[in-house]
A and B are shown apart, each in its own frame.
Chain A
């Protein structure tokens, strides 16, 4: 299989989506972040000037606009850029889009995709480093997608646009340069199907988004010591493939959950609670969470590193389950 960089796979998905379906509109222009890769994006911005739109800095306004446009038959993908900016659009995302189908008794679909870059990007400090997916998970009616590889970003983006529900596409800038296999043919990766990113027998690590890549690195190092780590990537939080998580935990009898949302009421907290409820008797030792510590994200590098789910914290947590 050919190998692509993550940003190339993502760009290919956007290009194919625009070419295949006139209903697809991109609102916003930082799908490849503000890095030099944004030059690549200009290719489609030029080719589809009527469907690749640059809005004013009005997150509330244009997220509502995209939701309304979706209700009326378009398939918009809105770019919120930095994940923290979704708070500017919060009422439209969580109180209008998320509720539309349910509240109307199933009359009105809002197939909009909200795209954002979450997490600690390095130097983003408190106001540009949020991981809002746990808060969003608390708003029924939204689908939440977290790609972690070039193949996944392409296949999941295709599914997000085909989905009839409002979908949050939670990306991470640290993934953009990662390389990996991506099939030539059009591949649609269904929501609600987790992926075992690495097989192992000693401990299950459940990780999302960029943390999948970080955990794979840790797993590689620990393999040198004879510790076989299994890395399970849920890929979507809503819907969640809990069966695959539980099956892995059953096999290894040990679980560590690694995620970049804050620890309290975070993504790791919810997954941990479900393992405790449904798989407690399969665990040999208490499960562990590695999440962002419960402080606003600080600016200075050593401070940022200290509160992050870093390689050293992940390694320590894995070792703790094996003692």
Chain B
């Protein structure tokens, strides 16, 4: 369902989701052409979660993200060109090329530190929450991680501390393996947790927890808005598990794009290879969102297509910018060691 918001906000959601999708697809192309090295993770299939959830935050709130951070940063308003420059290891990147895809931080947007260790941010996030409580500045910390993070000991230790001390923190666990793993040969393994449902774990520490369909922007928006309100009222931490169906392009460890996204797919998926067609038909949060927008007569198909063209233009410019950005000078490696 659509979030209960004015048209301008819905269009803004749509723009951000389109930007994330086309950014990530462009990234696969850049990787395949050899423009950056190493492992990387995409946010495709989770756009509704990130965009809807982050819209509930204040400008001065803190956020922490993981290896799967691109969508979070873009949803919060990071510049695609500087994010891309960072991923390509260029001097104009947000971290001057020292962080890369796993570690892009944008402190001016509240992303102080992005960790490539799946649960690395959870203790840090309760720390900014601890500081906000001590300084009485009303800031909330949103800690965004995947289901795999719950498998590391940092998660339960931090849940216990957050609950004991009633810290103003939102634990947003994006479970992108709703139907479990191993559907396809060579598929990436998702969560391996004896605690089931995952919310059993935070609930053992008396943290109010609930699950929500992460493909449904309206449902995510409602649940997160409510959780943030409670946190700001001083009720302590909240845990939300969003569930999405893993994008087939991520089934293998190195992403592949089964079909380049075009919003026209929202009404006709016949051009999608049959093997992955069902995902684009029923689990793609972007296509569902635009379909709902049109059905609700908030916007026409032509207007949506124009929004998509604009998003693609921005991404094309970002790609040109990032590729033209110089590599940092080698001596830069010795700077920023100490503050």
Taking a contact as CB atoms under 8 Å apart, the answer to whether A104 and B338 are in contact is no
B99, B103, B130, B135 pick with most chain A CB within 10 angstroms: B130
Taking a contact as CB atoms under 8 Å apart, the answer to whether B62 and A72 are in contact is yes
Cβ-defined partner of B157 (8 Å) among A58, A68, A69: A58
Given A69-B134, A102-B98: A61 touches B158 (CB 8 Å cut-off): yes
Taking a contact as CB atoms under 8 Å apart, the answer to whether A101 and B95 are in contact is no
Complex CA gap A60/B117 in Å reads 14
Taking a contact as CB atoms under 8 Å apart, the answer to whether B337 and A140 are in contact is yes
- Chain A, residues 51-68, CB within 8 Å of chain B (1/0): the string is 100011010111111111
Cβ-defined partner of A107 (8 Å) among B95, B124, B157, B335: B95
Taking a contact as CB atoms under 8 Å apart, the answer to whether A74 and B123 are in contact is no
**Which residues of chain A are near B62, meaning CB under 8 Å?**
72
A63, A95, A102 pick with most chain B CB within 10 angstroms: A102
Cβ-defined partner of A64 (8 Å) among B158, B160, B339: B158
Distance to closest chain A CB from B86 (angstroms):
8
Let me know if B263 is at the binding interface, CB within 8 A. no
Distance to closest chain A CB from B59 (angstroms):
15
**Which residues of chain B are near A164, meaning CB under 8 Å?**
338-339
Taking a contact as CB atoms under 8 Å apart, the answer to whether A67 and B127 are in contact is yes
**Which residues of chain B are near A105, meaning CB under 8 Å?**
93-99, 105, 336
Taking a contact as CB atoms under 8 Å apart, the answer to whether B99 and A104 are in contact is yes
**Which residues of chain B are near A56, meaning CB under 8 Å?**
160-161, 164
Complex CA gap A176/B214 in Å reads 56
Let me know if A106 is at the binding interface, CB within 8 A. yes
Q: How large is the interface on A (under 10, 10 to 19, 20 to 34, 35 or more residues)?
A: 35 or more
Taking a contact as CB atoms under 8 Å apart, the answer to whether A58 and B124 are in contact is no
Let me know if B223 is at the binding interface, CB within 8 A. no
Question: Within B72-114, which residues are at the interface with A (CB < 8 Å)?
Answer: 93-99, 103, 105-107, 112-113
**Which residues of chain A are near B113, meaning CB under 8 Å?**
71, 96, 100, 103-104, 108, 110
Total A-B contacts with CB atoms under 8 angstroms apart = 153
Which B residue sits closest to A109, measured CB to CB?
Answer: B339
Distance to closest chain B CB from A104 (angstroms):
4
Let me know if A141 is at the binding interface, CB within 8 A. yes
Given A58-B161, A108-B105: A73 touches B336 (CB 8 Å cut-off): no
Let me know if A70 is at the binding interface, CB within 8 A. yes
Taking a contact as CB atoms under 8 Å apart, the answer to whether A64 and B126 are in contact is yes
**Which residues of chain A are near B158, meaning CB under 8 Å?**
61, 64-65
Given A71-B113, A164-B339, A165-B338: A103 touches B157 (CB 8 Å cut-off): no
Taking a contact as CB atoms under 8 Å apart, the answer to whether B336 and A106 are in contact is yes
Complex CA gap A107/B161 in Å reads 27
Taking a contact as CB atoms under 8 Å apart, the answer to whether A71 and B128 are in contact is yes
What's the tally of chain B residues with a CB closer than 8 Å to chain A?
Answer: 43
**Which residues of chain A are near B338, meaning CB under 8 Å?**
101, 141, 143, 164-165
Distance to closest chain A CB from B162 (angstroms):
9
**Which residues of chain B are near A101, meaning CB under 8 Å?**
336-339
**Which residues of chain B are near A72, meaning CB under 8 Å?**
62, 112, 127-128, 131-132, 135, 139
Let me know if B125 is at the binding interface, CB within 8 A. yes
**Which residues of chain B are near A102, meaning CB under 8 Å?**
98, 336-337
Complex CA gap A263/B248 in Å reads 52
- Chain A, residues 162-192, CB within 8 Å of chain B (1/0): the string is 0011000000000000000000000000000
**Which residues of chain A are near B2, meaning CB under 8 Å?**
none
**Which residues of chain A are near B139, meaning CB under 8 Å?**
72
**Which residues of chain A are near B130, meaning CB under 8 Å?**
65, 68-69, 74
Let me know if A123 is at the binding interface, CB within 8 A. no
**Which residues of chain B are near A92, meaning CB under 8 Å?**
120, 123-124, 154
**Which residues of chain A are near B134, meaning CB under 8 Å?**
25, 50-51, 69, 74
Taking a contact as CB atoms under 8 Å apart, the answer to whether B336 and A108 are in contact is no
**Which residues of chain B are near A106, meaning CB under 8 Å?**
96, 335-336, 339
Let me know if B115 is at the binding interface, CB within 8 A. yes
Let me know if B122 is at the binding interface, CB within 8 A. yes
A51, A107, A109 pick with most chain B CB within 10 angstroms: A107
Distance to closest chain A CB from B228 (angstroms):
18
Complex CA gap A111/B339 in Å reads 9
Let me know if A91 is at the binding interface, CB within 8 A. yes
Question: Within A9-33, which residues are at the interface with B (CB < 8 Å)?
Answer: 25
Taking a contact as CB atoms under 8 Å apart, the answer to whether A141 and B120 are in contact is no
Cβ-defined partner of B105 (8 Å) among A64, A67, A107: A107
Question: Within B153-176, which residues are at the interface with A (CB < 8 Å)?
Answer: 153-154, 157-158, 160-161, 164
**Which residues of chain A are near B95, meaning CB under 8 Å?**
103-105, 107
Given A50-B134, A62-B161, A91-B117: A68 touches B123 (CB 8 Å cut-off): yes
Taking a contact as CB atoms under 8 Å apart, the answer to whether A64 and B154 are in contact is yes
Distance to closest chain B CB from A100 (angstroms):
5
**Which residues of chain A are near B153, meaning CB under 8 Å?**
60
- Chain A, residues 66-101, CB within 8 Å of chain B (1/0): the string is 111111111000000000000000011001100011
Distance to closest chain A CB from B174 (angstroms):
20
Taking a contact as CB atoms under 8 Å apart, the answer to whether B124 and A104 are in contact is no
Distance to closest chain B CB from A96 (angstroms):
5
**Which residues of chain B are near A141, meaning CB under 8 Å?**
337-338
The residues of A with any CB-CB pair to B shorter than 8 Å are 25, 50-51, 55-56, 58, 60-74, 91-92, 95-96, 100-111, 140-141, 143, 164-165
29 contacts between A and B (CB under 8 A): A51-B134, A56-B160, A58-B157, A60-B123, A64-B124, A64-B158, A65-B123, A65-B124, A65-B158, A68-B127, A69-B127, A72-B128, A72-B131, A73-B131, A91-B117, A91-B154, A92-B120, A100-B113, A101-B337, A103-B98, A104-B95, A104-B103, A104-B113, A106-B96, A106-B336, A107-B105, A108-B107, A108-B112, A143-B338
- 8 closest residue pairs by CB, A with B: A68-B127, A64-B123, A61-B157, A105-B95, A72-B131, A164-B339, A68-B124, A105-B96
Sample of 11 further A-B pairs with CB below 8 A, known A70-B127, A102-B337, A104-B113 = A55-B161, A58-B161, A60-B157, A68-B126, A71-B124, A72-B139, A91-B154, A102-B336, A103-B95, A104-B112, A105-B95
